[in-house]
Structure 1
Amino acid sequence: MKIQTDITQLLGIRYPIIQGGLQGLGTSHLVSKVSEAGGLGLITAGSFETKKDMLQDIDIARRLTDKPFGVNIAIGIRKPMDEFIDGVIEGEVPIVFTSGNNPEPFIDRLKEKDIKIVHVAPSIRFAKKAESLGYDAVVVNGYEGGGHSGKDDTTSLTLVQKAANELNIPVIAAGGFSTGKSLLAALALGAEGIQMGTRFLLSKEAILHNRVKQLLVRMQENDTILVKKSIGKTARVWKNARSIELAKFEEKGATFEEIFPYISGESYEELIRNGNVESGVIALGQTVGLIDTIKTVEGIIQEISNEYDKQLQKLNLLQKGDSLES
């Protein structure tokens, strides 16, 4: 069954399910599978060294699917992203998600090309700013989410409702969403869709090393930790020996130079490619505690759709006052 919302209409997708940015993992192989299954796959620009590399992957994605997909660009997190903005325009990418630093310098160029633009915001203040700049929609990222969820520690339950109440553009809920029940809850809170990172991280198509996948699939909701607070880039990551050590260093007032080896691209690559779990840290949301299987992307989206339908039917029975046993 199709789930029609303002977001599915805006983005031209079957289900209001969007793949979040996945550094080093959000590439054509995964992205095309998400889009083929009816969601929106997003190529993560930060996965590439150059614009040329990204454009080559965009071409591959187009060969693998004729369904809509987009590009996620984190502005100013690791390096200047100007050339990647140039790349999405040159590559005629129809949908761009931005996050991180101020996207205002790039907006006019994107809108001139009729690109649908969505901003990922960790707070109502930034979501409203995105609306004022002319964004078509926003993702609000609650405290439960993996990666950068801002400094306010506001949970999705509050953040999503407040954003839906106070904004006039569609809201996408992120942070704690990985199931059909959570999709239904997001829509009930006023969102028009959900964005998932952790769930797709644990898909068969994600090119994360299998050793890491097998460890993560056994993790619980309390197996994450907040790090990088000391540099103003608070992130929720997997609580492994490396991230625990990093958090302790930060508590002691470690300098950026001292914590850099823990968060560098080299240590991250060693983790995701070679399965060295003592090397780096990886973004991980609390919803990992709800994930106990590694499925195909198609299987994940169908499972969410089926559970959504089942839970909706249950709620409809409650509304009618019928017995759930009948």
Structure 2
Amino acid sequence: MITTKITELFQIKYPIIQGGLQGLGKSPLVSAVSEAGGLGLITAGSYENKKEMMEDIERVKNATTAPFGVNIAIGIRRPMDDFVKGAIEAEVPIVFTSGANPEPYMEQLLNAGIKVVHVSPSLKFAKKAEKLGCEAVVILGYEGGGHPGSGDNTSLSLIPRAVEELQIPVIGAGGFSNGKGLLAALALGAEAVQMGTRFAVTKESPLHEKVKERFVSSNEEDTVLVKTSIKKPMRVLKSENSLKLFELEANNKPTVEELLPYINGESYKKLVEKGEINTGIISAGQGVGLIDNIPSVEALFQEIISDYQERLNQLPHISENE
């Protein structure tokens, strides 16, 4: 057990939180993360409608009595009103929001007694989240997969600033994949880490095995930022498709219609479900270079905590050469 403000807030054993994973953050992965002592998050965007999400929430409840939450990306793909209502109706205790401003949903979430956490790529937005009543914030560094924001500030610079400026607990995200990263985040003042890419490459993740293997064989240079032309930068795994998209944006001013063949939902579905790596794009953080296996979630937690403890025990023995 590692006790921090976040483990106490969420009543979890370890300060390790699963990131929002489009199409992957479903009951098998979520329940495994929570059962292992972390916080699993149902990813609302993975479902066609509220009913589907609520049915999967029920599967998590049947699989574990440990706390879990729902991740809701606002203004990314479609309206999230029904999914917010679904989280409330399902009496989920924790909701993570990301993307656009969560203010339209804050009153109803807080009135339902839900602990709200907002994912922010900057201190400016983190401060707004605190004023809105969020009980914690995730600070997402430039290294992170998915949407790291328009800046290029890393977790190393963002986390300590946020810890200094905010009164609520800070969760570090972006580049964290192992126990050394967890220790580093806590040393910077964070109360937990959120990992997306690392949990995508586990046995319980529904990601196709071919794609998992591609992640394992990748290094820290195998990601690229796309969708910059529409001011929605997204860090994804390098592939034939993502590099074509990168070149298109670098050399032209493409319309949204020209971007759609690369980023539409059908292409992503083929990638995730059928392993067609050169179709669609998939989020990946720079921490992908630290991933060298495909463990069960339980085994991954054992690896992370063992790695964390080993490095923690070494620190008192480190001294400057005389």
Q: Secondary structure at the match of 1:144?
A: coil
User: Which amino acid in structure 2 is aligned with residue 260 of structure 1?
Assistant: L
Matched, 1:300 2:300: yes
- Kindly provide the CA deviation profile for residues 74-108 of structure 1, in whole angstroms up to 9, marking residues without a partner as x: 01100000000000010000000000111101101
Q: Secondary structure at the match of 1:165?
A: helix
The root-mean-square deviation of aligned C-alpha atoms, in Å, is 0.9
- Kindly provide the CA deviation profile for residues 120-178 of structure 1, in whole angstroms up to 9, marking residues without a partner as x: 00100000000011100000000001000001110000001111111000000000101
Quote the residue 2:314 is aligned against. Answer: 314
Quote the residue 1:93 is aligned against. Answer: 92
Percentage identity across paired residues of the two chains: 59
1:11-160 correspondence to structure 2 within 5 Å:
11-160=10-159
Q: Secondary structure at the match of 2:318?
A: helix
Q: Secondary structure at the match of 2:119?
A: strand
Quote the residue 1:230 is aligned against. Answer: 229
Segments ≥4 residues shifted beyond 2 Å: 316-319
Shift of 1:317: 3.0
Structure 2, unpaired ranges of 5+ = none
User: Which amino acid in structure 1 is aligned with residue 186 of structure 2?
Assistant: L
User: Which amino acid in structure 1 is aligned with residue 194 of structure 2?
Assistant: Q
Shift of 1:254: 1.0
Shift of 1:25: 0.3
1:249-264 correspondence to structure 2 within 5 Å:
249-251=248-250, 252-264=252-264
1:197-212 correspondence to structure 2 within 5 Å:
197-212=196-211
User: Which amino acid in structure 2 is aligned with residue 10 of structure 1?
Assistant: L
User: Which amino acid in structure 2 is aligned with residue 14 of structure 1?
Assistant: K
Quote the residue 2:285 is aligned against. Answer: 285
Matched, 1:189 2:163: no
User: Which amino acid in structure 2 is aligned with residue 103 of structure 1?
Assistant: P
Structure 1, unpaired ranges of 5+ = 322-326
Distance across 2 between alignment mates of 1:279 and 1:317: 49
Shift of 1:248: 1.1
TM-score computed with the length of structure 2 as normaliser:
0.98
TM-score computed with the length of structure 1 as normaliser:
0.97
User: Which amino acid in structure 1 is aligned with residue 169 of structure 2?
Assistant: P
